[in-house]
Amino acid sequence: MYKGREGQWAFYLHRLSGLAILAYFLLHVISISLFVFGEKAYMAVHGGYDFILFRLGLIAVAAGVMYHAMNGLRIIVMDLTGKGVAYQRQLWYSVLLITVVWTVYVAYMVLPRVAAGV
């Protein structure tokens, strides 16, 4: 099932997307907790979120969350159905397709706002 094929890539990307989501969550918890040190410290960090890289990063976050969620559902289908493993390759490519479509949609929604500086 693995041996460097789709199952192995699904495994690696699932772990990587999970760690990226955790890092994004921790960044938010830490930055919001800076309010304890006063509005100045809070605004100093949150002012940096207006940079274009942070705004474009929202597209990557949305892609990571969608991949992680859809791959999690793929794993559930494979575990709960006896035939899931036989279709794991097709399921993984379906996960990738859904993730790409979702990422294109999010980019379509986010990029005009980034370009406008909103």
The first and second tokens of residue 68, run together, are 């992680």
Distance between CA 91 and CA 73 in Å, rounded?
10
The first and second tokens of residue 106, run together, are 């999010």
DSSP secondary structure, 105-116, as one string: HHHHHHHHHHHH
* CA 4 from centroid of its chain's CA atoms: 23
DSSP secondary structure, 25-41, as one string: HHHHHHHHHGGGG-HHH
Q: Any binding-site annotation on 68?
A: yes
Binding residues for heme: 68
Binding residues: 68
